Amino acid sequence: MKNQLKYALLLLLSLQLLWACGDDEPLCEDTLWYEDTDADGLGNPAISKTACEQPTGYVDNSLDNDDTSPYVVNEVDETLFITTDGNVTINRVPCTLSDGTETECFEIVSKHIPTDHQMGPWCPEHISDGPEDGGLWMDNGVLYDVDGPFIENLAVFYNDTSWKMHDANGNVYRFTTQQECEQGADPNIEDQYMNMCAQCLPSWVNAQESYLIPVRPTIQANSTTLGDGPTLDQAGVSYGPLVRGLAFNGVRFDHPADVNIILAGYQLAPVDDAGGHVNNRLGYHYHGDMGLTTRIAQADGHAPMIGYALDGHGLYAQYDVNGNEPTDLDECRGHYDEIRGYHYHVMPLENNEILECYHGAWAE
């Protein structure tokens, strides 16, 4: 009798093992979860537990250093964009973010034509022209007026006698046709376009670009370095978008200008007093914020809002109303407050960079 019972137990155990081995369900792995007291989707790094399945009141990130009040997330306000002139149109569309999240984005189609300020000038006509007749040039963290004397003095400025951007009568060599704009702006500059001031007029370019910005921005545990363009990015390295964001007039805040490539062709490519210039493909775009675009003043004296980054977080000017820069900016020049949520403060134009990284996910 005992042997029969023993055999029955062994048979039952064998059947259980066979059933378990034939089960296609994956084994549940323990995960570290973080308490989310304020139910804002962000966990408290100080309180965690390990569990196979997500416990109630816990999340899988530890991004909330203050779990006593909800984390403020401001959705993109599409009404801040200037759409009355027809240069910008906005629609709400489904999209997938860089972290795989399926959500909704604003699709913003822009002709890159600002209506809140004038464009230009960029290149002076004569070496006697003053700063009001030319734009600005960024070099080694310093801004220079591209006036006539600056053009005349380029050989001394760069300690290179090959520079001579004017004729014997003082007339500045500069792009004056659409063909020169298209051919002379190539990184492999031909001899005929060397020693020329590179300017493309808005009327020469018919641009229209589409951008996706998530309606509700997110915060990622790790930042993503943004792309700087094919001549500056390292091969084999994964980068975020080239575009830093959009001003409220629909003009893009772009990646850095490759000053070394421009100078190698003995050219200048000045920006205007708004920090923008035109290229033959994208039209007008900014390399910095100079205070001429539409700005949303903040009631508490915080720096004004100037647009949105492509990850949906707000872009704000460098300085507040008292001329102070925030002291708690992270590596992406972002920080958090309970009015604006997480947001960025842009770099000055002389840095030839708006932002270097994102802490949010962008639309792929």
| Helical segments of the chain, H only | 2-22, 148-152, 154-157, 178-184, 259-264
What local confidence, expressed as pLDDT, does residue 24 receive? Answer: 55
Residue 53's CB: how many other CB atoms inside 10 A? Answer: 8
Q: Which two tokens stand for residue 334?
A: 């972002």
**Cα 71 to Cα 336: distance, rounded to the nearest angstrom:** 9
What local confidence, expressed as pLDDT, does residue 39 receive? Answer: 65
Domain boundaries, the chain: 28-71, 131-205+257-274
What local confidence, expressed as pLDDT, does residue 361 receive? Answer: 97
What local confidence, expressed as pLDDT, does residue 28 receive? Answer: 80
Mean pLDDT, 10 residues at a time, over the chain (364 residues)?
52 50 63 80 84 85 74 95 97 97 98 98 98 97 98 98 98 96 79 93 96 96 88 74 97 94 94 96 96 98 99 98 97 96 98 96 94
Q: Which two tokens stand for residue 131?
A: 């700063």
Cβ partners under 8 Å of residue 203, min gap 6? none
**Cα 230 to Cα 206: distance, rounded to the nearest angstrom:** 23
What local confidence, expressed as pLDDT, does residue 26 receive? Answer: 59
Report DSSP letters for 288-301, one per residue.
Answer: S--S-S--B--TTS
Q: Which two tokens stand for residue 291?
A: 């205070």
**Cα 30 to Cα 194: distance, rounded to the nearest angstrom:** 63
What local confidence, expressed as pLDDT, does residue 351 receive? Answer: 96
**Cα 330 to Cα 158: distance, rounded to the nearest angstrom:** 35
Give the distance, in angstroms, between the CA of residue 40 and the centroid of all CA atoms in the same chain: 25
**Cα 144 to Cα 261: distance, rounded to the nearest angstrom:** 18
**Cα 38 to Cα 336: distance, rounded to the nearest angstrom:** 17
Residue with the two structure tokens 């001549």: 231
Q: Which two tokens stand for residue 4?
A: 């029969």
Of 323, 317, 324, 330, whose CA–CA distance to 360 is shortest?
A: 330
What local confidence, expressed as pLDDT, does residue 160 receive? Answer: 98
CA distances, 350 to each of 137, 232, 256, 347, 354 (Å): 8, 18, 11, 8, 10
Q: Which two tokens stand for residue 302?
A: 């915080």
Of 204, 181, 215, whose CA–CA distance to 76 is shortest?
A: 215
What local confidence, expressed as pLDDT, does residue 322 receive? Answer: 98
**Cα 344 to Cα 305: distance, rounded to the nearest angstrom:** 9
Identify whether the C-beta of residue 283 lies closer than 8 Å to the C-beta of residue 112: yes
Torsion of CA 7, 9, 12, 13, to 10 degrees: -110
Beta bridge partners of 342: 336
DSSP SS3 for 33: strand
